Chains A and B, each alone.
Chain A
Amino acid sequence: MKKNLPILLLALAVPVIALLPLPDFWIAQLNYIGLYALVSLGLVLLTGIGGLTSFGQAAFVGIGAYTTAWLTLNTGMSPWLTLFVGLAFTAISAVIVGIITLRMSGHYLPLATIAWGLSLYYLMGNLDALGKYDGLLGLKSLSMGAIDIGQGRLFFVLCWAILLAGAVALTHLLDSRPGRAIRSLKGGTQMAEAMGISTFRYKVTIFLIAALFASVAGWLLAHFQRTVNPSAFGLKMGIEYLFMTVVGGVGYVWGAIVGAGLVKLLDDWLQVALPALIGTSGSYEVIIFGVVLVLVLKYLPDGLWSVVARKFPKPQRPVNWQNAADLPVRNKPAMGQNVLVVDKIRKQFGGLTAVNDISFDIAAGQIVGLIGPNGAGKSTTFNLITGVLSKTSGRVTFCGEDVSSLPSREISRKGMARTFQHVKMIADMTVLENVAMGAYTRGSSGVISAMLRTNQVEEQRLMKEAQRQLERIGMGAYLHEQAGNLAMGPQRLMEIARALCCDPALLLLDEPAAGLRHKEKQALAAVLRQLQSEGMSILLVEHDMDLVMDVCDQLVVMEFGTLLTRGTPAEVQANPAVRAAYLGTEH
């Protein structure tokens, strides 16, 4: 349980600090730091892990704060109920903003949140019911029975307990099936979608989680300050939350706390020191903040916590899945049945016909090679079959089902797995975790069970499967290596293992032998034959002719987007048209 040591220490430190004879001023400071850290915790998930960002977190804090303020003052509802009303309002607005912006490229979310933060600020400042710019005054402190826990030391314990619970939940989430999906978002959507992951759904999910964290912070803040007014929820504060997260370390859960602490203390100090230095009052601290932000991004893009994290490398994942049950296996087509029928598929990019009415089929247990000179349209054909690109015309039938118009994640769910010409992986996850992503569609546990750690049975089954596939392909020694540290060849093998984890009926390999050494190629050929003997069908794009001629039953030859010929390797080798395509014609 070495991994949980820092959390345990912090959890113990909180009551100890509360008992220490610290001046009340410092307890209040720690309370604010806890509240800010809770907001930036959400940004760690959204920005650091998911690669999206929001300048509107302060607006969500505002929704949480104003909801509880208005309801407790006007209806006398208990704050313990208004918390959930606030969360509901926050969730609705976050989902609306998310659904509108997250289908488009990444920079629309921050833009929308800027506008959204501004309009909410002016709304709060102009509504009579919310007290205009004066805000709402005279809120009650939080209490449990007769005990006031809304101020001082007891509030400190409450606030930091919530913060630590949030941090723990987030660390749990990141190390889980949905967590791996979330970590894949940053590197573009293609790979994740090919693993059957709905990237859009996860983007909305993390935006929602971040907003909910902010809303809880708002609820706490309202009852701690006992007043709310718009200035705490404006765009400047929204930007400051992002600033805290970036300075602390945008990819690290603990960076949020460090960043919040540092910025709060710096802010207080500068607000006193700078006007004294300059001679007039004004919020000059933003100058320093702006410059520091640019400097941090330039020289320490992973934030302060990255310095600490480098000193303490992640402990190796304990292997606890030997006794886990195997994952269920799908029914595969019987030997010799058609697995894939490609019927006259066509792709036009403007005036260029990249793939021109290509047709072929693959029977169960067959290895088919797709070959052709560079630029023949092989990878485009791949992308058309797997649903990454939309077809201009034509039909693809997979296991008897028409999959022509399905997106790649649906096709992947039906049992078609692929690798990529340029390896796509999550470099800072271990090989095992990367491969476990392939089994995404074979699990079902969600975000909440991941946060609560009730997903362990399924996690162990996924890990066991990942290990099995890695060992099958001869990568058993690399389980705990960081994927980014692997050489090109092993990276490609890892992609094959990942594809195998999906329990596919058809495996599509895009240049699997590129970058492999001779021995590794032989091993790959052996693996392919072994897979074939187990009834797997394989479509292979490859330039290594020795390998292709060695393992393939059938070859499809393309040139300039059109089908040149097809047949057994021997037939193709004898075909003069193929020779001409590869070597040019004799005159």
Chain B
Amino acid sequence: MRDDIIKVEKLDLFYSEFQALHNINLTIPENKITAFIGPSGCGKSTFLKTLNRMNDLVEGCSITGGVLYRGNDIYREEDVFTLRKNIGMVFQKPNPFPMSIFDNIAYGPRVHGIASKNVLHEIVEKCLRDVALWEEVKDRLHKPALSLSGGQQQRLCIGRVLAVESEVILFDEPTSALDPVSTSKIEDLLDKLKKKYTIIIVTHNMQQAARISDRTAFFLHGRIEEYDDTEKIFLNPENKTTEEYISGRFG
């Protein structure tokens, strides 16, 4: 399909001896929200990390198979830095750097060689507007980012990814540490962002997956049990275990 931005083929992943992912095959459509659901330890977060090679940091982690990003196998490419620029990531716990709000957003562009103050300022303003944080922080851009609330911090972290002009953004349970109001703000934000970005989100919250995603993959024991349009997964799953999980019978 022409719209597929990421294609995963026969992916197996091992932590030393332990096989965490078994024969994963799936495609991620562009400018859509894809959700990964499943019980704890099913491998959904692990799989997310393979998409921008953050699993490189885990000792003893090895993979076989291929992850194609726009047709290129990311594990054959040498340039992991450009890959991570193109496929950004937002983590479970907000992790702003211990610097000012401005420097947090400007960090990524600076990494990739932008030094001009004016350009940085434009980027910061645009990104903060995109994550609906500009009005709240425009008067204290040079205050510590850690002084923001948890929800604001998480939006800042999203803005930080937008600043490097990623095409795909991976979200690893981005709202699990947040209160309901902040959560709904983030969800609204994701919905807006999908016009420009491809979004992949791992979530424990099935209502969240149902609310915001277009496609949903159900993971179990390191395998994809079912992967389909969200509506179909939630209303009419083909697989019996999927139905049992969604209806809350285990997990």
Partners in one complex: no
